[in-house]
Amino acid sequence: MTHTKDLRGKLLLLFTVTFLFVTVFIIRSSRMVREIPNPSFSLKACHVQVSEQPITPLQDTQHLLVSAYMDQRVKGFDVRIISIFKRDSVHPLHCIFCCSGDISTTTPANILPHSDHFGFPYGTTDVMCQIPLTCHRATHVSLLTEPNKNISTEQLWLPIRRTAVNEKEKLQFNFTVCISNLFGEYNNVLQVAQSLEMYRLLGVGRVVIYNTSCGPELDLLLQTYSQEGFLEIVPWPIDKYLIPSKGWSFSIHGGDLHYYGQLATLNDCIYRSMARSHYVTLNDIDEIVMPYQHDNLADLMSVLQQHNPNTGVFLIENHIFPKIYFEPGGRFHLSQWKDVPGVNILEHIYRETPDMNIYHPYKIIVQPRMVEQTSVHSVLKTFGQVYKVPHDVCRLIHTRVALRRELTLEQLNVDKRLWDFHEKLIPNVDKVLRRAGLLSSEGQS
């Protein structure tokens, strides 16, 4: 009896082990199948090719499509396609939809180039489409150069993404930070970790970064944040299609497109955030929107919004903390960070006073649903009012090379606002660096 039980137990064990083995093998091989390259297109309803890329060339044109959003805020239109157009080759286009499995008739597109393009040959452009009355539940959209022409199998379609929530739904995040573009071998790991952890302490729920390329250690850090869900990385291979400029001015920097397509990514990020975030801040990765009279962004915005109820755009002054000047006591010159590449923002406490005689750039906090088109330092089209936030209430802490190089150390302002957060900030930065495998072992506490 015991013997049979023993045998049965052994058989059961053998069976279980084999089963697990086979299961793991099946999962692994199916994963391998999924990893075979060519994930760019998929066949969906309407038997059309749906682009799953962040940049989609538009057939028969030199234009690039980025994303399509349901947007009924402008009368007569239903869908906005954010695009990058060759500005001297804009010809009429026609919108076509996939409607519950059927292809619609075409409607004429309204092409709206953004006013900011800084002289580059390519510029951000919105294509506005009206869904035909006969179309029920449009799921995908594409553009044709001629109305109702035969659609080739090469034609790529964009999914139409939502921008509104229904009444019962809650927005997922209070604040989203949109970091436009990462390019080159940018590897400023310590400053990025400190900035992202500062955002989190200030109440940011999601950060979106458009990534063309980055350095190896920063790649590890960003993967860590992305796995955790705090960071959404949008691949942005604009250099595969155009010669992106490393600068903001065509006459100075040359190239096809302003700053790796920063304007298109900022606009995309606002629309991407409409159905999930109360506020969106548009800033660079070396900038922190810092409240000086409140502990966090939610408290700041609730006060600002009370005094400015119809405002959807808040302009924040940019203040530079030059990285050549260090706090002399070395209080936050921490040994565990000595092998981490990048700037330690806690060591830079000297702030330039901006030269208000020259144009002073702002960065922006917006209510995404009140914005139609944005640029970098201002909003181009909005449904609400714009408010300039006083710098003693909130300013950008921007640690970088000096802007006003003529200023001596004595002419700078001592500003230790970041230090108010050190008790939480430092352990949080250590934790994420350790998880990314970027803290040297002797520095580990």
Ligand X SMILES: *[C@@H]1O[C@H](CO)[C@@H](O)[C@H](O)[C@H]1NC(C)=O
- Is residue 303 a contact residue for ligand X (CB under 6 A)? no
Of the candidates 269, 361, 369, 267, the residue with the CA atom closest to the CA atom of residue 311: 369
Find the binder of ligand X among 54, 123, 205, 342 (CB under 6 A). 205
The smaller minimum CB distance to ligand X, of residues 233 and 407, is found at 233
Find the binder of ligand X among 211, 281, 283, 336 (CB under 6 A). 211
The smaller minimum CB distance to ligand X, of residues 118 and 260, is found at 260
Find the binder of ligand X among 70, 196, 222, 238 (CB under 6 A). 222
CB contact at 8 A, 126 and 112: yes
CB neighbour class for 179 (10 Å; exposed up to 12, middle 13-18, buried from 19): buried
- Is residue 103 a contact residue for ligand X (CB under 6 A)? no
- Is residue 152 a contact residue for ligand X (CB under 6 A)? no
User: How distant, in Å, are the alpha carbons of 86, 225, 336, 428 from that of 279?
Assistant: 32, 21, 35, 24
Q: Would you give the end-to-end CA distance of the chain in angstroms?
A: 57
CB neighbour class for 298 (10 Å; exposed up to 12, middle 13-18, buried from 19): middle
Find the binder of ligand X among 81, 141, 214, 313 (CB under 6 A). 214
- Is residue 223 a contact residue for ligand X (CB under 6 A)? yes
- Is residue 150 a contact residue for ligand X (CB under 6 A)? yes
Stretch that binds ligand X, among 217-225, 249-257, 323-331, 403-411 (CB under 6 A): 217-225
For residues 81 and 69, give the distance between their C-alpha atoms in angstroms, rounded to a whole number.
6
The smaller minimum CB distance to ligand X, of residues 99 and 182, is found at 182
- β-strands 107-108, 413-414: how paired? unpaired
The smaller minimum CB distance to ligand X, of residues 125 and 191, is found at 191
The smaller minimum CB distance to ligand X, of residues 181 and 373, is found at 181
Number of residues in contact with ligand X, rule: CB under 6 A?
Answer: 12
For residues 359 and 121, give the distance between their C-alpha atoms in angstroms, rounded to a whole number.
25
The smaller minimum CB distance to ligand X, of residues 204 and 345, is found at 204
The smaller minimum CB distance to ligand X, of residues 150 and 441, is found at 150
Dump strand ranges (E) for 100-151. 102-103, 107-108, 110-113, 122-129, 138-144
Torsion of CA 367, 125, 288, 426, to 10 degrees: 100
- Amino acid letter for position 72: Q
- Is residue 234 a contact residue for ligand X (CB under 6 A)? no
- Is residue 298 a contact residue for ligand X (CB under 6 A)? yes
- Residues in contact with ligand X by the rule CB under 6 A: 150, 173-174, 205, 211, 213-214, 219, 222-223, 233, 298
